[in-house]
Amino acid sequence: MTEPVNHVQPPAQAGMPTRQEPGMTKGLTLLFAIAGGLAVGNLYWAQSLLDLIAGDLHASTSAAGWLVTATQLGYAAGVLLIVPLGDALNRHRLIPAMVLCSALALAACAVSPTMLSLLVAVTAVGVSTVAGQLLTPLAGDLASDRERGRVVGTVVSGLLTGILVSRTVSGLVADAVSWRAVFGLAAVAALVVAGLLYRANPGDACPESAALSGAYGFGRRGGCTAGNRAVDVGLGCDRFREFHSLLDRAHLPPQQSAFQLPPSVIGLFGLAGLVGAIAAQRVGRLHDRGWSLATTGAALLLLLITFAFAALGGGSIVVILVAVVVLDLAAQSVNVLNQIRMFAIPNEGRSRLNTAFVTTNFLGGAVGSAAAAVMWAAGGWVAVMVIGMVFSAIALVVWTFGRRGPLQVPTPQ
């Protein structure tokens, strides 16, 4: 039996303006992807610059390490407090405004004279750099039903590429000029993007969403997700999917020390991020063809098999490299498809749904890191891979029981 296509046409409601035909062109999709990538990249500029920053500001490396923590905490606060406003405010003004705030915060980073002032500035960067999480649900609103998968997949691919590129670019610019130049150039780029987004004037595709009051936007956040079983099951799968970070964040097995790998070879592990970004763009097209649920199940099964593969071949650097790449490919496929299915649900606050989605990803990643540390101490590499297999199997069970019911999105008549 052919799987039903995961599209839906929202029914017209009495007293509500008719939804206009979405206007998500290829150019606007590309702009959203670039803007989202630059926004998410702001979270990672400092990661490869900690030693340089510590030396220049006469601080210890451990003190500089708090810059990463402050940025991530600020971002978590922004996701929880600002992203839901996408259901209450006009996003045509909100998104450029947030990008402009990011530009100001990045400029403050570039001129910070002390570690304390830099900590405050990077926290502001984290809070304000949520444009990517506002652009993704807006892209889902603006896209037509038949191309929503391609559009959202492309935007998410831009976000993932931004994470990958930012770490490389920051190191190159810092070596050529200084760490302050990294933040200065990022501020200029943010100003340009803010102007382009404002001129593009995408507007809001869902008048009923834009008209929500502030009380509705925050008070209904929990009910918006808990009242829909498709969302509940999708988030459940994604929580377990996040345990792919067990392999990404676990140390390599002791045998790897015998390989005496040069930095250029170790850098190949960064290809995992590139593969994930490509997967995000491609799997969206599978959703448009009606293969969303089947592909999600296949990706979860691939996670399970890859953890087993890595457990058996942990003594080989080739096996480890292949496992990292395949895990990222499968995990990002599940991530994107779950997100697209959420955005296909009618009459829901997509920005609030995205808030819940991103929050559970953060929680899953945090639990995955903690579990990796505990299992590594208990049984080393094999123990870490076994717990990865367990959680992949749980996610597969959630998918199995949900695919005939709550994970389905009605097919348009």
| Region for residue 380 given its phi and psi (left: phi exceeds 0; alpha: psi -120 to 50; beta: otherwise) | left
Residue 202 and residue 92 in contact, taking contact as beta carbons nearer than 8 Å: yes
Compute the distance between CA of residue 31 and CA of residue 28 in angstroms, rounded to an integer.
5
State how far the Cα of 46 lies from the Cα of 231, in Å rounded to an integer.
34
C-alpha 286/C-alpha 408 separation (Å) is: 15
Identify residue 373 by its one-letter amino acid code.
A
Q: Which of 264, 247, 390 is nearest to 319 (CA)?
A: 247
Provide the pLDDT for residue 97.
93
- Which domains are delineated in the chain? 26-216 (1.20.1250.20), 222-402 (1.20.1250.20)
Amino acid (one-letter) located at 330: A
pLDDT in tens, the chain (413 residues): 444 444 444 444 444 344 444 467 888 999 999 999 999 889 888 877 888 898 899 988 778 888 888 888 888 888 888 888 877 778 888 999 999 999 999 999 999 999 999 999 999 999 998 888 888 888 888 888 788 888 888 888 888 788 878 877 887 888 888 899 999 999 999 999 999 999 886 655 444 444 444 433 444 444 444 445 444 455 555 555 445 444 444 444 444 444 555 444 544 555 556 776 677 677 877 877 888 888 888 989 999 999 999 888 867 777 887 887 888 788 878 888 887 777 776 655 667 777 777 777 766 765 776 677 678 778 888 888 888 898 889 888 888 887 765 555 544 44
The pair of structure tokens assigned to 100 is 């402009």
Q: Are 284 and 410 in contact (CB under 8 A)?
A: no
Local structure of 126: helix, strand or coil: helix
The pLDDT assigned to 225 comes to 47
N-terminal to C-terminal alpha carbon distance within the chain: 18
